């Protein structure tokens, strides 16, 4: 992920940085390798670290998106990269079907135990 910081009222110099993935494990943040993709901590939250900002140093970046923001991102992705979006959506649909099947099976197992 690439991030650009610009001054709100006055832009003197745009700050372009690569965000390094960060994983949250047992209330501790662990930095991944630069250039690796950001992994989502939940369906709407991801963490990243930005090194060597000239503003105040290193940052932890937390992004939390609403469902509308995610839908907006996906819509833009589909418009910009339709072939890649089809591949991505196909993979995600397969994973969703597998997860839904497992969830239903788990619920059926609980009911049969009662």
pLDDT digits (tens, 9 = 90+) for 70-104: 887 888 899 889 999 999 999 999 999 999 999 99
pTM for the whole structure = 0.58
* Alpha-carbon span 96 to 61, nearest angstrom: 28
Residue range of the domain that includes 38: 2-64
Residues 92 and 59 in one domain: no
**Which secondary-structure segment (H or E) carries 67?**
helix 67-80
pLDDT digits (tens, 9 = 90+) for 30-61: 888 877 888 788 777 788 888 877 665 666 66
Which of 33, 49, 64 marks a domain boundary? Answer: 64
- R_g over Cα of the chain: 19
Residue owning tokens 């992705």: 77
Residues 109 and 98 in one domain: yes
Residues 7 and 59 in one domain: yes
Residues 42 and 80 in one domain: no
Residues 51 and 6 in one domain: yes
pLDDT band at residue 1, thresholds of 50, 70 and 90? low
Cα dihedral 71, 72, 75, 76 sign? negative
* Alpha-carbon span 62 to 48, nearest angstrom: 7
Residues 15 and 45 in one domain: yes
């Amino acid at each position: 992920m690439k991030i650009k910081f610009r001054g709100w009222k006055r832009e003197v110099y745009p700050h372009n940085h690569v965000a390094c993935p960060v994983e949250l494990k047992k209330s501790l943040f662990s930095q991944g390798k630069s250039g690796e993709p950001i992994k989502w901590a939940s369906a709407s939250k991801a963490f990243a670290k930005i090194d060597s900002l000239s503003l105040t140093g290193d940052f932890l970046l937390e992004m939390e998106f609403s469902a509308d923001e995610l839908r907006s991102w996906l819509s833009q992705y589909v418009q910009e990269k339709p072939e890649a979006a089809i591949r991505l959506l196909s993979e995600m649909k397969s994973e969703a079907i597998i997860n839904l099947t497992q969830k239903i099976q788990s619920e059926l197992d609980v009911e049969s135990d009662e």
